[in-house]
Amino acid sequence: MTASRFNGSVCLVTGSAQGIGPATARRLAAEGATADAGPLDALVNNAGTVGSYEPITEITLEDWDRVVRINQTSVFYGMRTVLPGMVERGRGAVVNVSSMGGIIGASGVAAYAANGVRIHSVHPGFVVTPMTEVRGSGAAESAGPPAEPSGGKFPEPTFGVARSG
């Protein structure tokens, strides 16, 4: 990669005090990005926290809300703040860094596991349901219908039970 890949681009990396954040900021700077004031060309939503290693049954709502504010609400605010300018200029990039814990779980992290109990995170594809068919709200109309998969229609929701032996 050349040192000018991001030459003159204004980039913001949240959570750049430790871990992945400072490494990302240093890499962007090495490739020509700057953090000077000006319209943002790139936002890396990297801020995140584990919160508590206590069992979920012992975590206070205050602690839980703090984790949600840092890990989720900050991403919403960041994107809501920078997207209008990026859309107006017709360019920009947003990268939202997330946790593998939501995919594979993490022992001892309350949001993903409880002692002796499996906690699953399900990530279905698009499924036509009454909720996805709702039109009439400004956001749904402006987004338009989702792109059709290559087969030409969306899968119908199905449910089943797997039995062993």
At 47-105, the pLDDT tens digits run 988 877 787 788 899 998 998 999 999 999 999 999 999 999 999 999 998 877 666 66
With a pLDDT cut of 90, the percent of the chain lying above it is 37
**Domain extent listing, the chain:** 11-142
Which pTM does this prediction carry? 0.68
Cβ atoms of 22 and 16 within 8 Å: the answer is yes
Taking 70 as the threshold, does the pLDDT of residue 36 lie above it?
yes
pLDDT for position 158 = 45
**11-142, CATH topology level:** Rossmann fold (3.40.50)
Cβ atoms of 128 and 156 within 8 Å: the answer is yes
Helix ranges, 15-96 (H): 20-30, 61-68, 74-89
pLDDT for position 140 = 44
Over range 125-154, report the average pLDDT: 58
- Pick the most confident of 45-54, 116-125, 150-159: 45-54
Taking 70 as the threshold, does the pLDDT of residue 125 lie above it?
yes
Taking 70 as the threshold, does the pLDDT of residue 16 lie above it?
yes
Give the angle 81-84-85 at the CA atoms, nearest 5°. 95
Return the residue matching tokens 């993903």. 112
Closest CA relative to residue 99, chosen from 113, 117, 81: 113
Number of Cβ atoms within 10 Å of the Cβ of 82: 20
Over range 111-116, report the average pLDDT: 58
Active site residues: 112
With a pLDDT cut of 70, the percent of the chain lying above it is 64
Predicted confidence band of residue 2 (pLDDT cuts 50, 70, 90):
low
Cβ atoms of 21 and 47 within 8 Å: the answer is yes
103 contact partners, CB below 8 Å, separation of at least 6: 121, 123
Q: What is the C-alpha separation between 47 and 7, in angstroms, rounded? A: 24
Q: Which residues pair with 13 in a beta bridge?
A: 44
Q: Which helix (H) or strand (E) holds 131?
A: helix 130-133
pLDDT for position 117 = 61
pLDDT for position 164 = 40
